[in-house]
Chains A and B, each alone.
Chain A
Amino acid sequence: MLAALLERALPAESPDTAPQSSAEVSSVFTPAHRTVLEAVREFFSKRPEPVQPIAYTHKVHLANGLQCPFCHVGVDQGPDARIPSVNFCMTCHQAIATDKPEIKKLAAYMARGEDVPWQRVYGFVPSAHVKFNHAPHIRAGVDCVKCHGDMTQRTVAIRTVDHTMGFCVGCHREKNASVDCVTCHY
């Protein structure tokens, strides 16, 4: 209830009205946050729920036998997993399901020379100072499902697992991994 109340009190700002230029310094709340709202939101570690430009379906792709690292290349090599570019999608979708409306959207991006502006789903706010690295987790045999939920039943990705510190530390304890502060915060 409190949440709903405050949402009304502090309406979500439109990005267009936010000052873009550094010349308008007076209207910037702090060097780190453009507005009060942005600061408050970060204080509570709340991120806006992403709205994806294409209604991509994980379910269909996984049902067809694709594995996560097929598209999310690099997950076993370094900190981040790649979000595939439109080029990558179109290697298959030049031929597959070309009549579907969402695939037509995809092809339109390609034709315009644009990449799909996928929105970020997971991640930590900068002030948390968390340095997450995928590769050691994959090496330790942590299943993707553990942190990202069961994607075989999902269309676009949403945050189904809350990546709180408690969540991370719980698993680290379970697996006898280091719970030293500087393992993640540095």
Chain B
Amino acid sequence: MRRTELAIVGAGPAGLSAAVEAASAGVHVTLIDENRKPGGQLFKQIHKFFGSKEHYAGVRGFEIGMRLLEEVERLGVDVMLDSVVWGIFKEHTLGIIHDRRNILLRADKILLATGATENALAFPGWTLPGVMGAGAVQTMMNIHRVLPGRRAIMIGSGNVGLIVSYQLLQAGAQVIAVVEAAPRIGGYGVHASKLRRYGVPILTSTTIKEAGGKEEVERAVLVKLDGNWQQIPGTEEEHEVDLICLAVGLSPLAELAWMAGCRFEYIPELGGHVPIHNSNMETTVPGIYVAGDIAGVEEASTAMEEGKLAGIAIAESLGYLRSDEARDRKGEVLKRLSELRSGPFGRMRRRAKERLQRRYGVE
């Protein structure tokens, strides 16, 4: 049985940021990730981030990832890669598979920063090779430097759909269209404008009816939707494509929180079932914290801030930070978080997070 003070599951932006905060305060941190390399989704993000200087505005995602990693290494955090946390048990014990062996790790505090998973959209032909998640396309292009197709259709016009479409253009593919079921574009106007400028149509009130092909995707049939989300017969349009990307939302990866007995609330704006937590990022199970997309699907910038918040709160609870020091640091993070959760896009998420936090302590 191994021991640590803080076990962090997931070395993405939230986990890395929490590790930096906690380790800086003196906490013994073990950072665990199932992948061979840490960084979560950060290394796929080749676009410049928004926000202010404190939020790393203007810096590309992968660059932010590298800076966080350097910090984590410099602080001597114990990093376990290629390690799957398969279970969470009483007395804060984690079951971890590493190098084909099972390891038990007992921690004083646990932070679950396991992120979110892409949703799928089922339609006839969706199982054909060539239908992939937008995140999968990003991984193939930006991490593995492989183009998954030459003519693509993107389903979904949220920021993920818009950004990955732009990245497909940068990688040398053609994007025939971005398809959006709602009557409005879901993501930022600037992301949409970049695509329209380069000839990519964004078709609202449209969905994919079916994908066709013998062994692989060869064509997609699009169809228009009426005011009740119903397909309008006769509006079908066939397009020759070899890649169909699904950017239809993300859902928190919260199995470990379920196992641990955390209470959840269903909040669609945050991606579905989300573990209830307070402003210290602590769940309804004392000593178990959450941060990042697992606590509600938002962005990398909010994930980093929530990670910092959790790291500070955990350091405080372990006695490494005085309460006034912790309060000041948390105050700075909360200010930056409220900046990120403002404006017409952020406001909705802030209200959803407030609703979630209000459920804490309610029986």
Partners in one complex: no
